[in-house]
């Protein structure tokens, strides 16, 4: 799923300072699961903003709403009837949701309430870690199911580099060396002979390097 992190409240206050009627818009998908932008976080942010402005003696309307998804026309349409009630929307969806809402409501200021971090997994309670960078050309079959693009700080295709120590990456003792994990997996799979196959130079044109990406499926188009 998409992992996001709440923006510092001071930053959000700065962004909404000049608006009087604000909608805090949550999303019921990934950001709910990673506890950054679901219904609960909408409530917390709205309360914090109310208290802040109340303490300053300023009156503002701060409403709350959470949609099923913000990356889908159908759900974003649900707020069309109420849109004129607001001067700005703080979206707690990922960057996709914020943009999709902005495209739909052309004259409405759309402010992000979270920082979108990565594509990751919920590794433990309160711990989300990156697993994929959407390079557009998956090589996991060759690397024991562990991704060197997203999990190696140098995205080394033929690793590990010389900085791997005790299973950790040279950038931090808190980061696993992806290539240590790959080697461990290849060993477990009894496929160490695969380690010596040289990974070819990667075609990055399917990555962000190739420009904004799109998937078109004629077979599912209406």
Partner 1 sequence: MSALNTHSRLEKILKAGHLGVTSECGPPRGSDAEEVKKKGLLIKDYVDAVNVTDNQTAMTRMSSLAACIHLKLLGIEPVLQMVTRDRNRIALQSDILGAASFDIPNMLCLSGDHQSFGDCKSGQNVHDLDSMQLVQTVRYMRDEGKFLGGDAIKRPPKIFVGAAANPFADPFEIRVPRLAKKIACGAEFIQTQCIYNIDKFKEWIRRATDRGLTEKTFIMAGMTPMKSVGMAKYMKNKVPGMDVPDEIIARLAGVPKDKQAEEGVTICVEHIQELKEVKGVSGFHIMAIEWEEKVPEIVQRAGLYPRPQV
Q: Which residues of the chain form contacts with partner 1 (CB under 8 A)?
A: 153-167, 170-171, 177, 180, 183-184, 192, 195-196, 198-201, 204
Alpha helices by DSSP H, the chain? 9-16, 30-33, 39-55, 73-76, 95-104, 148-151, 178-188
Nearest distance from residue 141's CB to partner 1, in Å? 19
Yes or no: say if 27 and 70 are a contact pair by the CB < 8 Å rule: yes
Q: Which is nearer to partner 1, 136 or 163 (CB)?
A: 163
Q: Which is nearer to partner 1, 90 or 149 (CB)?
A: 149
Nearest distance from residue 186's CB to partner 1, in Å? 9
Q: Which is nearer to partner 1, 145 or 200 (CB)?
A: 200
Nearest distance from residue 179's CB to partner 1, in Å? 8
Q: Rounded to 10 degrees, what is the CA torsion of 99, 101, 106, 108? A: -110
Nearest distance from residue 139's CB to partner 1, in Å? 13
Reference 80, options 92, 67, 93, 90; nearest CA is 67
Q: Which is nearer to partner 1, 105 or 204 (CB)?
A: 204
**Contacting residues for 215 by C-beta, under 8 A, at least 6 apart:** none
Query: Rounded CA gap, 166 and 202, in Å?
Result: 28
């Amino acid at each position: 799923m998409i992992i996001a992190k709440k923006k510092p409240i001071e930053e959000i206050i700065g962004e909404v300072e000049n608006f009087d009627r604000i909608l805090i818009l949550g999303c019921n998908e990934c950001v709910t699961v990673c506890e950054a932008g679901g219904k609960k976080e909408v409530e917390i942010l709205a309360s914090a903003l109310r208290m802040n402005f109340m303490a300053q003696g300023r009156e503002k309307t701060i409403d709350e709403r959470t949609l099923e998804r913000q990356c889908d026309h159908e759900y974003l349409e649900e707020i069309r009837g109420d849109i004129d009630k607001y001067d700005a929307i703080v979206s707690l969806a990922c960057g996709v949701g914020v943009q999709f809402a902005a495209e739909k409501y052309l004259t409405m200021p759309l402010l992000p309430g979270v920082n979108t971090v990565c594509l990751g997994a919920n590794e433990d309670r309160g711990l989300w870690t990156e697993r994929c960078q959407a390079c557009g050309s998956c090589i996991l079959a060759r690397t024991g199911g562990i991704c060197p693009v997203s999990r190696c700080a140098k995205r080394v295709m033929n690793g590990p580099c010389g900085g791997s120590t005790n299973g950790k990456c040279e950038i931090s003792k808190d980061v696993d060396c992806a290539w240590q994990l790959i080697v461990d997996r290849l060993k477990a799979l009894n496929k160490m002979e695969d380690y010596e196959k040289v990974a070819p130079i990667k075609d990055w044109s399917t990555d962000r390097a190739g420009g904004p990406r799109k998937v078109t499926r004629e077979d599912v188009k209406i």
